[in-house]
A and B are shown apart, each in its own frame.
Chain A
Amino acid sequence: MTTATIDKAAPTRKVKYGSMSRDRAWALRWSYFFLVIFAIFFLTPPIYMFITSLKSSAEISAATNPWWVFHPTLENYAGLLTSNQFLRFFWNSAIVSIFVVTITMLISVPAAFALSRMRFWGSATLATGVFLTYLIPETLLFIPLFKMFAVIGDWTGIQLINKWYVLLILYPTLTVPFCTWIMIGYFASIPKELDEAAVIDGASWIQTLTRIFIPVAFPGIIAATIFAFTVSWAQFLYPLVFTTSTDQLVMPVGIITSLIKGDVFNWGQIMTGALLGAAPPLIIYAFLMDYYIAGLTAGATKG
Chain B
Amino acid sequence: MADVTLRKVVKRYDEVEAVRGIDLDIADHEFVVLVGPSGCGKSTTLRMIAGLEDISDGDIMIGGDVVNDVPPKDRDIAMVFQNYALYPHMTVAENMSFGLRLKRYPKAEIKSRVDEAARMLDIVELVDRKPKQLSGGQRQRVAMGRAIVRNPKVFLFDEPLSNLDAKLRVQMRIEIKKVHQKVRTTTVYVTHDQVEAMTLADRVVVMNHGRIEQIGTPNELYHKPATKFVASFIGSPAMNFIPCRLEDLAGKLHVRLTDRIAFPLPPARAARYQGIPRADKLLLGLRPEHITEAKPHPEPGVEAFETVLDVTEPMGMETLIYFTLEGAQVCGRVNPNAGAQDGAPLRLAVDLNNMHLLNEVTGVVL
Contacts and interface: CB of A to CB of B under 8 A. Distances in A.
Interface of A: 1, 191, 193-194, 196-204, 207, 211-212, 215-216, 218
Nearest to B82: A193
Contacts of B72: 196, 199-200
Interface in B53-109: 71-73, 77-79, 81-83, 85-89, 98-99, 102-103
Given A212-B87, A216-B88, A200 B79 contact: yes
Contact of B50 (A200, A207, A216): A200
B146 interface: yes
B87 A193 contact: no
* Nearest 4 CB-CB pairings of A with B: A201-B99, A193-B85, A202-B73, A197-B85
Contacts of A197: 79, 81, 85-87, 146
> Which range holds the interface residue count of chain B?
20 to 34
A204 B86 CA distance: 17
B174 interface: no
B89 A216 contact: yes
A215 B89 CA distance: 7
Contacts of B71: 199
B366 interface: no
Nearest to A4: B167
B37 to A, nearest CB: 22
B170 interface: no
29 contacts: A191-B83, A193-B82, A193-B83, A193-B85, A194-B85, A196-B50, A196-B52, A196-B85, A197-B81, A197-B85, A197-B86, A199-B72, A199-B73, A200-B50, A200-B52, A200-B73, A200-B77, A200-B78, A200-B79, A201-B99, A202-B99, A202-B103, A203-B73, A211-B98, A215-B89, A216-B87, A216-B88, A216-B89, A218-B89
A197 B78 CA distance: 9
Nearest to B78: A200
A218 B137 CA distance: 27
B99 A191 contact: no
Contacts of A198: 87, 98
Contacts of B137: 1
A158 B63 CA distance: 61
A207 B98 CA distance: 11
A83 B78 CA distance: 65
A218 B89 CA distance: 10
A270 B72 CA distance: 62
Contacts of B50: 196, 200
A207 B85 contact: no
Nearest to A3: B167
Nearest to A196: B52
A212 B85 CA distance: 11
Contact of B102 (A196, A203, A218): A203
Contacts of B52: 196, 199-200
Nearest to A192: B85
A193 B77 CA distance: 15
B102 A201 contact: yes
B109 to A, nearest CB: 16
Contacts of A201: 73, 98-99, 102, 146, 150
A204 B73 CA distance: 9
A191 B83 CA distance: 9
Nearest to B90: A215
Interface string B96-135: 0011001100000000000000000000000000000000
Contacts of A1: 137, 171
Contacts of A196: 50, 52, 72, 79, 81, 85
Contacts of A204: 73
Contacts of A216: 87-89
Given A199-B52, A200-B72, A193 B89 contact: no
A180 B77 CA distance: 34
Interface string B132-150: 0000010000000010001
Contacts of B78: 200
A201 B103 CA distance: 9
A12 to B, nearest CB: 25
Interface in B231-256: none
Contacts of B102: 201-203, 207
A215 B102 CA distance: 16
Contacts of A194: 85, 87
A223 to B, nearest CB: 17
Contacts of B89: 215-216, 218
A207 B102 CA distance: 9
Contacts of A207: 102
Contact of B81 (A193, A203, A211, A218): A193
A198 B95 CA distance: 10
Nearest to A201: B99
A1 B85 CA distance: 23
B149 to A, nearest CB: 10
Nearest to B87: A212
Contacts of B73: 199-204
A204 to B, nearest CB: 8
B3 to A, nearest CB: 20
Nearest to B99: A201
Interface string B40-57: 000000000011100000
Contacts of B103: 202
A189 B88 CA distance: 13
Best-surrounded residue of A196, A199, A202, A212 (most CB of chain B within 10 A): A202
Contacts of A215: 89
B16 to A, nearest CB: 18
A182 B52 CA distance: 27
Contacts of A202: 73, 99, 102-103
Nearest to B135: A1
